[in-house]
Structure 1
Amino acid sequence: MKKEERQQDIIKKLRASKTAISGTALSELYHVSRQSIVQDIALLKASNHQIISTNKGYLLVEPPAKQKVFKVCHTNQEITDELYTIVEAGGFVKDVFVMHEIYGKITADLSLASREDVDAFVAGLDERNTSPLMKLTDTYHYHTVEALSDEILELIERRLREKKYFVVNE
């Protein structure tokens, strides 16, 4: 397979996937080095393909993603449900951040696109016995969420409101 054909096929694979595809998986699929995939992705980005590099792999965002920040509040036990609510409605949880009275804005990248991503994130918190960032601010925190349309973002907000996780800014 020629380089140009491989790049077009990478776009097709990324378009068809709801979750990130790792560079290693792509290199095995096309029988090329990981570095070749990194170069392919760089060229695809340079030709205006909206590819996001995450810690779990590559995601294609088409059309360019809409984005909204949601202020939320809930218990530790509700973390999984809150994140499922977002991804099941079609959202991509880009990050979590808090506004700390001393340190200011503290942000952590999440890159959650599926229930599996959420499960892995929550398992990581449990395995490492780590407190979530929201503990710094009495459980109030924010998520930057991306979606393919404003309608999806509105649906996410509606579902977060129904579950009483959404906080109206005062």
Structure 2
Amino acid sequence: MKGEERRKQLLKILSSSTGPVSGGTLSQELHVSRQIIVQDISLLRANGSTIFSTNKGYLLQEEKKYSRVFKVYHTDDQVEEELSAIVDAGGQIRDVFVYHKVYGVLKADMGIKSRRDIRAYMEEISTGKSSLLKNVTSGYHYHTIDAESEEILDAIQEELRQRGFLAKLQDYEPVDFWGGQD
């Protein structure tokens, strides 16, 4: 197993654990020495993972994220306003998707976290080589929004409502688009 793959496995083990995992246990599971585990932990920390060392082993602190799906409607000219309202309120736009009566759910990842990301997205769309996904369903579409708290999601919902972007779910639309999965 290569280093990068091993570190992914290490993170997976730590994230699925309910308590600290000892270096010895990690080295046995990953078939490497404890020194390699120590080095891997250092590399993971350097790359932004919050891993604590305790007297009983390693603990991974994962940031709690909240997410909500919003159904929205707006014109092509209002795309930047919609996206800016979301990121300005503290949200991250994970994806855009539509629910088509014939084709079902059509989805595209966005990963928009800042106005800089919005500008890059708008530049890409403005080339005219592609159309906005919302246009497949006459402007109606959905975004999965991630935030650090339910309060931020509530503020985003209120901002979208005030701007007239929130849309009502129709009877034919499924409430749980992913069948319990993201």
> 1:97-144: per-residue Cα shift (whole Å, max 9, x none)?
001121111000001100011111111111243210000001000000
The size of the alignment, in residue pairs, is 125
The AA in structure 2 aligned to 1:78 is Q
Query: 1:123 & 1:93 partners in 2: Cα distance?
Result: 17
1:5 aligns with 2:42: yes
1:69 aligns with 2:106: no
Question: 1:153 maps to which residue?
Answer: 153
Describe the SS at the equivalent of 1:129: coil
Q: For the aligned residues, what is the CA RMSD?
A: 2.1
Describe how 1:116-135 pairs up with structure 2 within 5 A.
Answer: 116-135=116-135
Gapped regions of structure 1 (runs ≥ 5): 16-46, 51-61
Query: 2:61 & 2:135 partners in 1: Cα distance?
Result: 38
The AA in structure 1 aligned to 2:137 is T
Query: 1:89 & 1:150 partners in 2: Cα distance?
Result: 12
Compare CA radii of gyration and give the structure with the larger one: 2
Query: 1:89 & 1:76 partners in 2: Cα distance?
Result: 21
The structure 1 segments of at least 4 consecutive aligned residues displaced by more than 3 Å after TM superposition are: 2-6, 47-50
Scaled by the length of structure 1, the TM-score of the pair is 0.67
The AA in structure 1 aligned to 2:110 is L
Scaled by the length of structure 2, the TM-score of the pair is 0.63
Shift of 1:167: 1.1
Describe the SS at the equivalent of 2:42: helix
Gapped regions of structure 2 (runs ≥ 5): 1-38, 51-58, 171-182
Query: 2:109 & 2:145 partners in 1: Cα distance?
Result: 11
Describe the SS at the equivalent of 2:110: strand
